Amino acid sequence: MFQVLSGIWALLIGVVLIMLGNGMHFTLIGLRGGIEGFSATELAIVTSGYFMGFLSGARYTPKLIRNVGHVRVFAALGSFMSAGLITFPLVTEPWAWTILRLLVGFCMSGIYVTAESWLNDAATNETRGKVLSAYMIAQTLGIIGAQWLLTLGDAATSVLFIGASILVSISFAPILLTASRTPTTDVARPMPLRDLFSGSPLGTVGIFLLGSVYATQSGMGAVFGTKIDLTASQIALFIAMLFAGALVFQYPVGWLSDRMDRRWLIFGTSAIGAASCLLGWMAGDGLWPLMAAAFFAGGMTTPLYALFLAYTNDFLSSEDMPAASGGLVFTFGIGAIVGPLVTGWAMQGVSPFAFWLVLSATFAAIALYALYRMTQRSAVPVSQTESYVVVVPTASPVAVEAAGTWAVEQAEAERESEGEGDAEKERVAEA
């Protein structure tokens, strides 16, 4: 593992710094929005703006790269993102923040595409799985670390926004100074949703609903904390717990995924997520029950994303997987746009604690649909499933496609190894 990291350490440091800045900005929107008196609905629109920009960036950045190159695109998007972060405290209006979030989302998505292209190019078939895992861990650690940085300043001032901008600006130095090769960035055209649904109804519907869950947690979590009068430090801890749970549960879910019917695992993780959110709703203002609810709810969300990708690939040929990956990323993005809008409307019309009820209902819908699909299609034998690989919801189509390719290669290698082992046993038995 150390040999693998030695070749990509600068890229990973850059990714951590980017996520520190982006993670600060995500929580700051809820904190500063509450201070400015923005309603839950207004902040929901601002949140959805980010995911609209993110979806657009994933689609158009590869074209920009082909036209002007990785380095220019990376530097330009980084500059725009840094400028956008500084502008937030200067124009504190919901419409202006929505536009800025569109810009930041577009830039962030493009930065992911570019960085992941370099990482994918630096990996070999033997190291790709470890490189992807290290990349996903770096992302998650950056988001968690960002919450601690928020406790060092006051959201009512410009200091934290400037700090986020500085982190994003300096993050490009280690990446640009070490990534000398120009990798190819060929992202497959997304599979039409009709074809994707026909191939895997559960994967398509499930990842749409999960997009709603993820965007609500990451975008509206700080809004919820503001509306129930948590302190800035408590809100930062709340968001950190969402992502800490993802780190803890990713491996156990992945281990189970390769050893059982994935539909039952989807049902189980979704049911735990729904129950955790009900706990959050019943907890009221109790701090530690809220933190426990966040830990388990967030802990189910990220593994579910990788689980849906793996499950969908089980029903596709290796040739269709890149296009299906693009379709799943697009479907997830649509859900991420819709989720905060629904949650903001519910929080505004009912109470801030509707945050938990919407999340619980969405998790429950995933679980129930998984049960329904079990009655419509027989299970794929575990020996014929593709390998589970760690992929987080913030990944671009570049990383998702690379993960799918690696999963196919691993599964084929395991089958060949098992076949050779069976052949050897037969020869020994005959002898």
Sign of the torsion angle spanned by Cα atoms 226, 231, 236, 240:
negative
Q: What is the pLDDT of residues 5-51, one digit of tens each?
A: 666 787 888 889 999 999 999 999 999 999 999 999 999 999 999 99
Q: HSE of 5 in the Cβ direction (CA atoms, 13 Å)?
A: 9
Query: Looking at the predicted structure, is the pLDDT value of residue 431 above 60?
Result: no
Q: What does the pLDDT read at residue 4?
A: 59
Q: Is the pLDDT of residue 55 over 70?
A: yes
pLDDT tens digits for range 406-424: 766 666 666 566 555 555 5
The tokens describing 113, both together, are 């595409």
Over residues 380-407, the mean pLDDT reads 74
Per-residue model confidence as pLDDT tens digits over 318-329: 667 777 777 888
Give the per-residue pLDDT at 73: 84
**Cα–Cα distances in angstroms (integers) from residue 34 to residues 105, 131, 303, 362, 376, in the given order:** 21, 39, 31, 25, 46
pLDDT reported for residue 415? 59
In this model, does residue 150 exceed pLDDT 70? yes
Confidence class of residue 84 from pLDDT cuts 50, 70 and 90?
very high
Tens-digit pLDDT profile for residues 275-287: 999 999 998 878 8
3-state secondary structure of 419: helix
* 362, pLDDT greater than 90: yes
Report the amino acid identity of residue 249.
F
Are 172 and 82 spatial neighbours (Cβ–Cβ below 8 Å)? no
Has residue 387 got a pLDDT over 80? no
Distance in angstroms (rounded) separating the CA atoms of residues 307 and 385:
12
Q: Which tops the pLDDT comparison, 25 or 3?
A: 25
DSSP string, 182-242: -----PPPPPPHHHHHHH-HHHHHHHHHHHHHHHHHHHHHHHHHHHTT--HHHHHHHHHHH
| Per-residue pLDDT tens over the stretch 331-349 | 999 999 999 999 999 999 9
Q: Are 389 and 129 in contact (CB under 8 A)?
A: yes
Polymer length in residues for the chain: 431
60-83 per-position pLDDT tens digit: 888 888 788 777 888 888 899 999
Say yes or no to pLDDT of 261 above 80.
yes
pLDDT confidence band for 375 (50 / 70 / 90): confident
Residues 6+ apart with CB under 8 A from 319: none
Res 275: pLDDT? 97
Q: What is the pLDDT of residues 98-124, one digit of tens each?
A: 999 999 999 998 888 888 777 777 777
Average pLDDT, the chain: 85
46 or 261: which leads in pLDDT: 46
Flag the least confident range among 38-42, 247-251, 289-293, 335-339.
247-251
Which two tokens mark 196? 């994707």
Q: How far, CA to CA in Å, does 213 sit from each of 70, 287, 357?
A: 32, 21, 11
Question: Is the torsion defined by CA of 235, 166, 29, 44 positive or negative?
Answer: negative
Percentage, residues of the chain above pLDDT 70: 87
Q: How far apart are CA 71 and CA 179, in angstroms?
A: 9
Per-residue confidence band for 301, with pLDDT thresholds at 50, 70 and 90 = very high
> Which residues contact residue 5 at a Cβ distance below 8 angstroms, ignoring those fewer than 6 apart?
12, 134
Position 182 scores a pLDDT of 59
Q: pLDDT (tens digit, 9 = 90+) per residue, 215-234? A: 999 999 999 999 999 999 99
Q: 244 vs 143, 156, 298, 415, CA distance in Å?
A: 9, 27, 8, 34
Does the pLDDT value for residue 187 go beyond 70?
no
pTM for the complete prediction?
Answer: 0.90
Query: What's the confidence (pLDDT) of residue 58?
Result: 81
pLDDT band at residue 243 under the 50/70/90 scheme = very high
How far does CA 9 lie from the centroid of its chain?
Answer: 21
Per-residue pLDDT at 38: 94
Q: Cα separations (Å) of 328 from 102, 131, 202, 203?
A: 21, 22, 11, 8
DSSP secondary structure of 347-405: HHHT-TTHHHHHHHHHHHHHHHHHHHHHTTSPPPPGGGSPPP----TT--HHHHHHHHH
CA 287, 291, 297, 302 dihedral sign is: positive
User: Domains in the chain and their CATH numbers?
Assistant: 9-180+193-424 (1.20.1250.20)
**Tokens standing for residue 431:** 């002898």
